[in-house]
Chains A and B, each alone.
Chain A
Amino acid sequence: MSASASIPSRVIAFFSSFGLAAVVLALLLLLTFLGTLEQAEYGLVASQERYFESVFVDRIDIGACWRALAFDHYWDIGNIILPVNILPGGYLLMAILFVNMFLGGLIRIRKSPRTIGVVISHFAILFMIAAGAVTYHFAKEGILNLTEGQTHDEFQSFHERVIEIEAVKPTGERRTALVIDQRLFTDLGNSSDHGKARTFTHENLPFDLVITNWKQHAEPKRATDVTRGDAVDGYFIQALSRNDPRTGQLLADEALSQACIVIAKDKKTGAEQKGILWEYAAAPWTATFGDQKYLINIGRRSYRLPFAIRLDHTEQEKHPGTERARRFTSKVTKLHGQREEKRVITMNEPVRGEGYALFQSSFDDGSGSSSGGVKRSGFQVVENPSDHWPLISCIIVSVGLLIHFMMMLSRAMKWNPWIAVTNTLLIVTAGFVIAYWKL
């Protein structure tokens, strides 16, 4: 590169360089290492969020990593947390890697018959990175729990929470709910200042809703002290430790129970009604304005399926002579209006259709004291537009590397490279056709 190269060309040279690729890959390796170690104490979701889905890593718990490596057996360093804000997170690194590979592996790479395999492989890796981005931004994932005989067409997100406001309507009328995403209220609890609040309004509501005192993991407690200032209807929100009392590890996000206080303020009179919302509450809080009642609830975000699922029958197969489960199977009916379709969901054999995949996730044979003899199945529901992209990407990478290998081999063996590559592709294609036909 000449010394007089323009600034844009220098920028492109930087972003397409091997050096940047090496740094990014090294940082990705570091993130994978740290994130995997921290996962032991922080759980999968928290580590994933901090290291692999972030733009910048906000801190590194060296102490947790140390303990995960069992080094504390020799030397306990205690709790050491580095407030790192410059270490790029997985999201940013993958974005840079995409740019780097696009510029370096597709645009700037020398195109010749000898590099065609490498170009194909680079393209496939870019495709895989894109699949990750599509999954991160557009995939929906959650759980659908059904008892035998029950039908439903909604599943609940594992991690996303919302506050919903629903007007009470006569039975049979169409029901709608206003939805407040958790991103709009979870910052209200990141402080010991319980006065933090935000007001939400909608033209169809006769009241404004103030959300305050949000806690990520809490439960309502009876306020025995009548002088408590934060008591609502005889209860207050007691924050709970996020650590499992038995293991000391951080609880998984799914196990947390959010809670907050809401104040419904009459738009005309300013009169207030106050209630506590709790994720595990048996029923929503009711606010009354004139003759109209409103149900307000905090819970998991619901997603609608394009079909309904009825759980007809569940089966559990155990290892002979043991109580250990070997296989759970659910016989279900997919309902499309009047049309019914019998399907079977079992472990590692999901039901796919209309962009969704339903996996057998959990099973309850009803023998537990709290089950009441009712059998249940939990289905993990995934809607991922890029569901098959990684597989396609892997196939393309394999083909690209195979072509590159044949090119190098034919060069060494003094074969005609194009005949060698063509024959190889024909064999690979035939293999895929046979595999697809037989499977």
Chain B
Amino acid sequence: MISFPPSSAATRLGFAALIGLSSALPSCKPLDEIEPITESRELSQYARKQLVDISSADRFYDQAEPAEDPNAPQQHPLLWVTPEGWTEKPSSQMRLIDFSFGPNGEGECYLAALPGPAGGLAANINRWRSQIGAPALTDEEIDKLPRKNFLGGPAHFVSVDGSFKGMGDEASAKQDYRLLGLIHQASELTLFIKMTGPKALVEEHAAKFDAFCQSVQFRKKAEKIPSH
């Protein structure tokens, strides 16, 4: 059998050995020194793709907008390029962008937005046609209307000549006018760009109408981080 240690010297020696073991404790690295990087690893082919130059707000899921400056001008939700010679008028609830052009400002072009389908494509096109005294089109005829690229998708293009009465009555109709328009139906709203004026003036500014339509875009928000 094993006996108990009789000697206190042996006990002290044993405990000294135990205390000695404590010297093997790992010590913290001293600060402010240069430490070489010695470890590396190869990433898996399934590792998530490299996300470069992501903003701090997106990295930290910070959805909050910066505190608003009450004196700062409100940002328009759209960006566009104003054609040369066009005069921008203050926007309103109905007209998000509003221009006049021509020697006496008799030409006008504006962009409006209505929620949802806004009554439907055919109703809106025929409403415009009725304003300039043109007969209504059938669905098949509307379907054959040309399309123009607008906000990254096709928009129905309308070009009608006639006597423009707008919202007024027949007596106030302006003769020999032209209406150019684009109708873009998105999932939640319908966008209209309508240009009216004397036919010769509108013909003169038709290229600027196209340029303006092409320039319209939504103000970019922070890019979303791709999901994995």
Contacts and interface: CB of A to CB of B under 8 A. Distances in A.
Interface stretch (A5-13, A325-333, A388-396, A415-423): A5-13
Contacts of B53: 286, 288, 293
A107 to B, nearest CB: 10
Contacts of A88: 18
B218 to A, nearest CB: 23
A201 B35 contact: yes
B171 interface: no
B7 interface: yes
Interface stretch (B55-63, B85-93, B112-120): B55-63
A434 interface: no
A267 to B, nearest CB: 11
B6 to A, nearest CB: 6
A58 to B, nearest CB: 11
Contact of B54 (A17, A165, A286): A286
Given A19-B5, A222-B62, A10 B40 contact: no
A394 B151 CA distance: 73
Q: DSSP class of B's interface residues: helix, strand, loop or mixed? A: loop
A360 to B, nearest CB: 20
Interface residues of A, number: 76
A168 B2 contact: no
B96 to A, nearest CB: 31
A154 B44 contact: yes
B33 interface: yes
Contacts of A16: 2
Contacts of B33: 198-199
Contacts of A284: 51, 54
A176 B7 contact: no
B35 to A, nearest CB: 5
Contacts, number: 170
Contacts of A222: 62, 64
Interface in A206-237: 208, 219-220, 222, 224, 232-235
A184 B35 contact: yes
B154 to A, nearest CB: 31
B22 interface: yes
Interface string B48-87: 0111111011111110100100000000000000000000
Contacts of A14: 5, 10-11, 13-14
A186 to B, nearest CB: 9
A2 to B, nearest CB: 10
A18 interface: yes
Given A176-B41, A200-B37, A17 B4 contact: yes
Contact of A175 (B32, B35, B47, B59): B47
Interface stretch (A275-283, A339-347, A348-356): A275-283
Interface in A383-429: none
Contacts of A134: none
A28 to B, nearest CB: 15
B32 A198 contact: yes
Contacts of B5: 10, 13-14, 17, 19-20
A158 interface: no
A178 B3 contact: no
Interface of B: 1-7, 9-11, 13-14, 17-18, 21-22, 24-25, 28-29, 31-37, 39-44, 46-47, 49-54, 56-62, 64, 67, 225
5 contacts: A10-B7, A154-B44, A166-B50, A176-B42, A200-B37
Given A174-B42, A288-B53, 5 more contacts: A154-B44, A179-B41, A198-B32, A286-B52, A304-B41
